[in-house]
Structure 1
Amino acid sequence: MIPYKSPLEAFLHWEKTTPDKAFLKQPINGKTTVYTFKEAGIEARKLAAAINKYNFPIQSHIGLLSKNCVHWIISDLAIMMSGHVSIPIYPSLTAEAIHQILEHSESKAIIIGKLDNFESQKSGIPNIPKISVGLYGENEGELYEDLLLKNEPLEDVYMPESDNLHTIIYTSGTTGAPKGVMHTVGNFVESLNVINSGLKLKEGSRFFSYLPLAHVAERVGIESYGILLGAEISFPESLESFPGDLEACQPELFFAVPRIWAKFQEKILEKMPQNKLNTLLSIPLLNRLIKNKLKQKLGLKHAQIIISGAAPLSVSLMKWFKKLDIEILQGYGMTEDCIISHINLPEANKIGTVGKKLDGVTIKLSTEGEILIKNKCLMTGYYKEPLITEEVFENGFFKTGDIGEYDHEGYLTITGRIKDQFKTDKGKYISPTPIELQLSSNADIQQICVVGTGIPQPIALITLSELGKEKSKEAISTALIKSITALNKTLEKHEKIEKVVIMKEDWTVDNGLATPTLKVKRNAIEKIHQPYYKSWFEQIDTVIFE
């Protein structure tokens, strides 16, 4: 059991016992600024003192809108120290979505940090107190830097109880409007207990934080777990500097989503085509050298734990990385269960599954194969949504909406989502996820959405990877037909892919077709493209360019 009753108590321990140890590392204009535990503590305490001057009732809600940076974590600590509840907001959201969350959460104030395009977002912030970090060019409301000058560090910080509300995390929402998932301080502590006992990383480990901190996995698994271990947490400065920043950090824990792994593979193959890579790896004297060089360049040379989550990762991609001695551990968790569900571990990693259930987790499968989960850190409910909360619980078990099956060794495989299933006009139900995973082994493909409502056979909508975009239409068509032919041999008759449609533009967060964690928004894609399914299906060509 961890010796702390809250993430804040863990931070206070390191602030007191290792004040001069590096805690946060922020690159700014190419130069890295290092914050020790003492320095981060002073800033957080000054900000907490400034928040207290607003005289909000204890456990008020405070929004936090920023990309990952030192000020995100310092602000989160200040919100804890002043006795309030954080409302993290994805930094890529539109003004309308930001307004919806701030209004629904009844946020009393908002802290505005590092953003790419705040000008387009600011209209979404209602008339509440605003604190902006001037370092990043924002000046709404009071300046963070001015508050640090005006306030003395708060000495008597608020120490939360286990059942106090810690945060409301609004789901990124692949379907429908986001819902506010309520987690207590005790939930985070329980989650950290399970993570710590499974991963067994040493105190002071190096972490790299780049996936949105508004997402539960980064919030618990990187920020909170990092605070628990007294870790050194580094951030990237920008998308352009990301590879160099990651290489400089060389984290011991690295977490990514499937799109990141596909991008890593793509960048390697751009510089070293597969045939050349195969040849070099086949030469004993060069094998180890090449692997070490690639791991160094990726920033994974010292990574002890490498996790993929948020969406399924293809078996072919995991095996490809394993040939480079990069072992990816696929896990499965949700905002609602505080990411405590299933994971593969170094000593028990079965590729193609999401691992075995974690300690303290109880699972039931419904008659439809839906995964129902119970653990000690399930959400207390959706904020202000008692009816929806009631709908997703069954005798204390949370209904995940995912369909899965166990093998005889207890490893779980996710086979789809109940809401993603569709029916062709032959009346046959199809679960698209396993088909999409198999098709994703084609390196020319970046994103896939298998659809088929109202047509005889499913079709695959895809976007091309950078490698794919460099090829001619003829070369792309030939490669895709080869992939489809091989795939169809493994599928039931009603599942066989009839056509592949290549989209004109990528599915991104900006155009509303991907979530902030880069998952495809199936509903949004279907809404746009369903009117064309029939005409695409009736075309002669197997591969269609939109």
Structure 2
Amino acid sequence: MREAATELLAGMPAGSNITDILLARHRQDPQHALYARKQNGVWTDVSTAELLGQVSALAKGPIAAGIRPGERIAVMSRTRYEWTLVDLAGWFAGAVVVPVYETSSAHQVQWILEDSGAVAVFAEDPAKEAVVRQAMARLPHRLPVYRMSGPDSGLAALDRAGAAVADEELERVRSLGTLADPASLVYTSGTTGRPKGCIITHGNFAELALNTTEFLPGILKEPGARSLMFLPLAHVLARAVQVICLAAGVKMGHTASMGELIEDLGSYRPTFLLVVPRVFEKVYATAQQKARAGGRGRIFDAAAATAVAYSRACDARNRGTGPGPGVVLRARRAVFDRLVYGRLRAAFGGEVRYTVSGASALNPRLSHFFNGIGVPVLEGYGLTESTAPAAVNPPGANRIGTVGLPLPGTTIRIAADGEVLIKGIGITPGYYRNDEANRAAFTDGFFRTGGLGSLDDDGYLTITGRKKDLLVTAGGKNVAPGPLEEALREHQLVAQAVVVGEGRPYVAALLGLDPDGLAGWLAAAGRAALDLEAAAGDPAVLAELQRAVDGANRLVSRAEQIRRFAVLRRELTEESGHLTPSLKLKRSQVVEDFAPEVEALYG
């Protein structure tokens, strides 16, 4: 058993709650721009004073509507400024906010509303409202639904209704909550069963935010720091980062759709970004595809190899095992910086100094690539139950391949069987109304993550897999699918990879094609477009995928290598039921739905 811990760096006064963060920020500088809203294509700053005024006015609405402190309100919306307003106003009104993913089905919404006991729902637009009302048809009673946008906005109606509530009453309600009280119920993604309502307290959010700010001052305390949020605010990681930015005074903007992201990055020009691994994979594959289509494939490949080598040399210096990049490597990187890297940095807005990667594992080679081109990736680790970040790599001491050091106020323990256990300020007190799950989730005061990992001598955590994902072949070989799947996803043709082999004589894989990558690959080869059905049986596509499999196999021992693979004839998406909203793969669902394809691999 090994442990690593980082001491607490900041705390909240007794009797305070998460709303005190905004009030403290207002006392410090009421004119400081905390947010920027994009209206008619133009970013307009929102000062702390303006934000506090809007939140206070909106918070009076639920009070006037009879929503009592401690009751739950649900929010179903894309990432947007109004999401933030409802979240903060809900906390000012003493409510517990329950996020619902914008892509959720009526069945999923119905379960969350029923299990949480929500008393009101905020829906972004008529389409989301229709899903909510369909879900409520299965409930014993109807709930009020407040639309968050449009001319008949329910937010405006709440503002008007709240005008009758005195400031003194709002302050009384706002100050009732304590750090130990629930601020949110965040439902798990459901990769292993029905979603569970995870209690996130005021203290989980607030103390994690204050300590992360002190732990990462080079990112969060830099003058002019600003970030653009495009991940779903229904995900605990995006929401935790938003609270962190609020505590640090980092200006936040929102992008409601991935289609607007590139344009918004260029106009907003963030200094740091929260990104999931799939975004890095897509950026790399797209850049590689464009270079090859334009006859610059060799230059790109050489530039990529240089970036990786440069980053590895820097990483060795950070670990104390090397002197850093030599003169020749630095000169080569400087050449490619002018030819290639500058354009890639421009894709992130041109001013990004750091990115933070979370939600799932990122292939170390991709981390080295982006680090080498001047877009450093700080990988972290956490779960819904840890209010997202529990460990992160600090700037200047990044160790690629690890997920960093415990955040302040956090202890990480490696159990005898290799499971990662966590205790600290971000850990949930438990699941809502689920004693059975709570008994299984904790041991000796530590939360059982289900992840497998190791700690080095300096306390850096490396995640090696998940207990439930670990495969044991018929020959008794333990196989961690993660490294193989990450390597396969680097190829532009591959969107998803699922390694199988539990109880089987050898390891095999299911491969899902990337429609955009396929189109680019075919165009570069001078071939006509193919749909996924046709591509799955195309000899040239299969030969290229075999080369990708051969490359992945070089990373593991012979017993762990993929012997056969099958190409899926349809895309794996959130809508198909095979990805979570944060783009994590639902492995068991894939294996279940494609059971005939799996059986054929062993026929």
Give the TM-score normalised by the residue count of structure 1: 0.90
Deviations 1:490-525 (A, max 9, x none): 433432201122212221111110001001110110
Q: CA deviation at 1:205?
A: 2.4
Within 5 Å, give how 1:387-406 maps onto structure 2.
Answer: 387-406=436-455
Within 5 Å, give how 1:445-460 maps onto structure 2.
Answer: 445-460=494-509
Which range moved further: 172-181 or 462-471?
Answer: 462-471
Which range moved further: 317-326 or 173-182?
Answer: 317-326
Distance, in Å, in 1 between the alignment partners of 2:408 and 2:29 is 31
Deviations 1:296-350 (A, max 9, x none): 2322x33333111111100121122123111111111111122342211222211
Q: CA deviation at 1:185?
A: 1.2
Distance, in Å, in 2 between the alignment partners of 1:330 and 1:115 is 38
Residues 426/263 of structure 1: CA separation in 2 closer, same or farther (3 Å cut): same
- Does the Cα contact within 8 Å between 2:106 and 2:134 map onto a contact in 1? yes
- Which one of the candidate residues 335, 339, 345 is aligned to 2:384? 335
Residues 292/154 of structure 1: CA separation in 2 closer, same or farther (3 Å cut): farther
- Which one of the candidate residues 128, 137, 147 is aligned to 2:143? 128
Q: CA deviation at 1:109?
A: 0.8
Distance, in Å, in 2 between the alignment partners of 1:484 and 1:167 is 43
Residues 239/379 of structure 1: CA separation in 2 closer, same or farther (3 Å cut): same
Match of residue 293 from structure 1:
343
Match of residue 277 from structure 1:
300
Deviations 1:55-78 (A, max 9, x none): 233211111111111111111111
Match of residue 232 from structure 1:
251
- Does the Cα contact within 8 Å between 1:421 and 1:429 map onto a contact in 2? yes
Match of residue 124 from structure 2:
113
- Which one of the candidate residues 518, 524, 542 is aligned to 1:468? 518
Q: CA deviation at 1:286?
A: 5.9
The structure where helix makes up a greater share of residues is: 2
Match of residue 22 from structure 2:
11
- Which one of the candidate residues 470, 479, 482 is aligned to 2:547? 482
**Residue type of the alignment partner of 1:404:** G
- Does the Cα contact within 8 Å between 1:46 and 1:154 map onto a contact in 2? no
Distance, in Å, in 1 between the alignment partners of 2:187 and 2:385 is 10
- Does the Cα contact within 8 Å between 2:43 and 2:268 map onto a contact in 1? no
Distance, in Å, in 1 between the alignment partners of 2:144 and 2:103 is 21
- Which one of the candidate residues 573, 577, 592 is aligned to 1:527? 592
- Does the Cα contact within 8 Å between 1:191 and 1:339 map onto a contact in 2? no
Match of residue 490 from structure 2:
441
Within 5 Å, give how 1:35-50 maps onto structure 2.
Answer: 35-50=46-61
| SS at structure 1 position matched to 2:572 | coil
Q: Percent identity?
A: 28
Instruction: Kindly indicate whether residue 167 of structure 2 is the aligned counterpart of residue 155 of structure 1.
Output: yes
| SS at structure 2 position matched to 1:323 | helix
- Does the Cα contact within 8 Å between 1:455 and 1:534 map onto a contact in 2? no
- Which one of the candidate residues 226, 248, 264 is aligned to 1:206? 226
Distance, in Å, in 1 between the alignment partners of 2:434 and 2:502 is 31
**Residue type of the alignment partner of 2:179:** S
Deviations 1:385-405 (A, max 9, x none): 012101111110111100112
RCO higher in structure (CA 8 A, sep ≥6): 2
Distance, in Å, in 2 between the alignment partners of 1:117 and 1:461 is 34
Distance, in Å, in 1 between the alignment partners of 2:108 and 2:592 is 19
Distance, in Å, in 1 between the alignment partners of 2:335 and 2:469 is 48
- Which one of the candidate residues 170, 174, 197 is aligned to 1:180? 197
Instruction: Kindly indicate whether residue 86 of structure 2 is the aligned counterpart of residue 67 of structure 1.
Output: no
**Residue type of the alignment partner of 1:130:** V
Match of residue 513 from structure 1:
578
Which range moved further: 113-122 or 446-455?
Answer: 113-122
**Residue type of the alignment partner of 1:36:** S
Residues 32/252 of structure 1: CA separation in 2 closer, same or farther (3 Å cut): closer
- Does the Cα contact within 8 Å between 1:199 and 1:305 map onto a contact in 2? no
Distance, in Å, in 1 between the alignment partners of 2:179 and 2:474 is 52
- Does the Cα contact within 8 Å between 2:578 and 2:589 map onto a contact in 1? yes
**Residue type of the alignment partner of 1:215:** H
Which range moved further: 419-428 or 67-76?
Answer: 419-428
Q: CA deviation at 1:30?
A: 3.3
- Does the Cα contact within 8 Å between 1:205 and 1:229 map onto a contact in 2? no
Q: CA deviation at 1:455?
A: 3.3
| SS at structure 1 position matched to 2:156 | helix
Distance, in Å, in 1 between the alignment partners of 2:109 and 2:199 is 18
**Residue type of the alignment partner of 1:267:** T
- Does the Cα contact within 8 Å between 2:109 and 2:135 map onto a contact in 1? yes
Distance, in Å, in 1 between the alignment partners of 2:368 and 2:333 is 19
Give the TM-score normalised by the residue count of structure 2: 0.82
Match of residue 273 from structure 2:
254
Deviations 1:358-414 (A, max 9, x none): 333223222321111111331110000012101111110111100112334433221
**Residue type of the alignment partner of 2:97:** S
Distance, in Å, in 2 between the alignment partners of 1:357 and 1:8 is 26
Distance, in Å, in 2 between the alignment partners of 1:370 and 1:392 is 12
Instruction: Kindly indicate whether residue 97 of structure 2 is the aligned counterpart of residue 55 of structure 1.
Output: no
Distance, in Å, in 1 between the alignment partners of 2:336 and 2:560 is 43
Residues 133/349 of structure 1: CA separation in 2 closer, same or farther (3 Å cut): same
- Does the Cα contact within 8 Å between 1:449 and 1:462 map onto a contact in 2? yes
Match of residue 210 from structure 2:
193
| SS at structure 2 position matched to 1:507 | coil
Deviations 1:232-283 (A, max 9, x none): 2111143221111122222222111111111221332343334233567858
- Does the Cα contact within 8 Å between 2:491 and 2:548 map onto a contact in 1? yes
Match of residue 286 from structure 2:
267
Distance, in Å, in 1 between the alignment partners of 2:63 and 2:114 is 21
Distance, in Å, in 2 between the alignment partners of 1:240 and 1:250 is 17
Distance, in Å, in 2 between the alignment partners of 1:316 and 1:381 is 36
Instruction: Kindly indicate whether residue 379 of structure 2 is the aligned counterpart of residue 360 of structure 1.
Output: no
Distance, in Å, in 2 between the alignment partners of 1:81 and 1:186 is 15
Distance, in Å, in 1 between the alignment partners of 2:47 and 2:370 is 35
Residues 155/269 of structure 1: CA separation in 2 closer, same or farther (3 Å cut): farther
Distance, in Å, in 2 between the alignment partners of 1:263 and 1:214 is 23
Residues 118/494 of structure 1: CA separation in 2 closer, same or farther (3 Å cut): farther
Residues 194/408 of structure 1: CA separation in 2 closer, same or farther (3 Å cut): same
What 5-or-longer segments of structure 2 have no aligned partner?
1-9, 307-331, 523-537
- Does the Cα contact within 8 Å between 1:164 and 1:185 map onto a contact in 2? yes
Distance, in Å, in 2 between the alignment partners of 1:306 and 1:241 is 19
- Does the Cα contact within 8 Å between 1:316 and 1:441 map onto a contact in 2? no
- Does the Cα contact within 8 Å between 1:109 and 1:129 map onto a contact in 2? yes
**Residue type of the alignment partner of 1:451:** V
Tell me the matched-pair count.
Answer: 532
Distance, in Å, in 1 between the alignment partners of 2:356 and 2:19 is 25
Q: CA deviation at 1:116?
A: 6.4
Distance, in Å, in 2 between the alignment partners of 1:497 and 1:453 is 13
| SS at structure 2 position matched to 1:62 | strand
Structure 1 vs Structure 2 CA RMSD: 2.5
Distance, in Å, in 1 between the alignment partners of 2:12 and 2:418 is 38
| SS at structure 1 position matched to 2:581 | coil
Distance, in Å, in 2 between the alignment partners of 1:408 and 1:38 is 47
Match of residue 89 from structure 1:
100
Which range moved further: 249-258 or 147-156?
Answer: 147-156
